[in-house]
Every structure is written in structure tokens, then in C-alpha cells.
Amino acid sequence: MKIMDFEIIPHDSVLNPTDFNSYQTGIPSLDTFLFEELDKMEQSNRTSMSVAYIGKEIVGMFALSAAQITTRQTSDVFNSAFGNGNQEYNSLPLISLDHFSVNKKFQYDPGKEKNQQFSVGKNLLYAVFETIVVMRSIYNIAVAGMVVEAIESATDWYEKQHFEYLDNYQANMPKETSIMIIGYDMIEQAYYETNELNARN
């Protein structure tokens, strides 16, 4: 995967608010969050949205916040995502991926060949991983991984990116959203592997 040259800025630093006029995800619940709920959540410091540009066009957005998750579980998922930390502590520090979307114009198109796809989603997730690795390795802030409440249509995609369901209920019961997690070790591995791949290309 070739890393895209995004310019990523805070949502409230966008100089031209009309840039948002052409941004749609194609998923009503995500669009509702962006244009009806986001401002209120940011004002109360519940989340913080970043906006990714290529040139003058917004191609994607993601929102992050701090979270904790109770880890005294018998689930094998917890063991694989968080290792020994799952057994030793009542809770672990996580980053919550509160929103993740790609402009519909740049989303995967099954009618196109692989070399014609934009891969904005993978590249934007890489940017999120980079943020987390920088937090941990540069700023020395402990983080055990990331959690996302994935909409039903996105769970397969998150699984392909090495996220796991929080527990068997999340994996097997039909629902509008599912809680999924990824441990820091997997985030760091994906980050460095992508860096090495791009260094060779």
C-alpha cells in the first residue's frame, strides 16, 4: 500500500467551511453524526475530528478520544488483542475511534480494477495508526490499543485490517453496530510494515 500524501488538520481549523458541502459518506447515520452531532461533541471535549485533504478536496475524516475498557473477561479475543495486560489489570487505556469515514467519491468501487482504486480508507487508517505510535513512542503516553463501534456494513473491512470483535456476543448477534478492538502491538506492526514497504518502493 503506497502512503497517500494527506494534509490532515483539525475539523475546527478548516478555513473554508464550504469544503464540507461536497462531503458525503453514503451512509445516513455517519452523515448525521458529521453534520448534526459533531460540533456539540467537540465543544464538550467528547471527541476531536480530523479532516484529511488531498489537494483542495476532503477525502476522509476521523475522530479520536481517550477511552478505557474493562478487561477481566474470559474471551480469547481479549487475550489475543491485549496479551498479558488483559489478565493483570481491571482496565486498559485505549484510543476510541469515534468516527471514521471516506468521501463516497473516493470509496471502493467494485466496477474498477484494483490499480484504479484510491485505497483512501486503508491510508487514512494508517494515519490513525501513525498518530497512536507517535503518542506511545515519541510522547511516552501509554496506550494498549484502539476500540471502534463499527457499523454493520464496515465490520468485514475492520476485520481485514486486523480488528477483532470485543466478545462472542459482538461477533455473533445481529445488531446495528459492533464493538471491535485492535491491540497496540498490531497497530505498531502495521505502521512499521507500511513504512518499510514504502521505503522499498
Q: Which residue has the higher pLDDT, 173 or 22?
A: 22
Helices 184-200 and 120-137: crossing angle, nearest 10°? 110
Total residues belonging to the chain: 201
Q: How many Cα atoms within 13 Å fall on the side-chain side of residue 194?
A: 21
Q: Any idea where the domains of the chain sit in the sequence?
A: 7-200
Q: How many Cα atoms within 13 Å fall on the side-chain side of residue 88?
A: 5
**Residue 172's pLDDT is what?**
79
At position 61, the amino acid (one-letter code) is M
d(CA 154, CA 151): 5
pTM (2 d.p.) = 0.87
State the DSSP string of 71-111: -----HHHHHHHTTHHHH-SEEEEEEEEEEEE-GGGS--TT
pLDDT, one tens digit per residue, over 57-91 is: 999 999 999 998 765 555 666 667 777 655 666 67
**Residue 194's pLDDT is what?**
81
Q: Which residue has the higher pLDDT, 176 or 112?
A: 176
The position carrying cell 475492520 is: 158
Cβ-proximal residues to 196 (8 Å cutoff; 6+ apart), any chain:
none
Q: What angle do CA 87, 90, 94 make, to 5 degrees?
A: 95
Straight-line distance from the first to the last Cα atom of the chain, in angstroms, rounded to the nearest whole number: 10
d(CA 184, CA 190): 10
**Residue 35's pLDDT is what?**
87
**Residue 169's pLDDT is what?**
75
d(CA 112, CA 103): 17
DSSP state of 161: T
CB 175 within 8 A of CB 152: yes
CATH class for domain 7-200? alpha beta
The C-alpha cell at 118 is 484510491
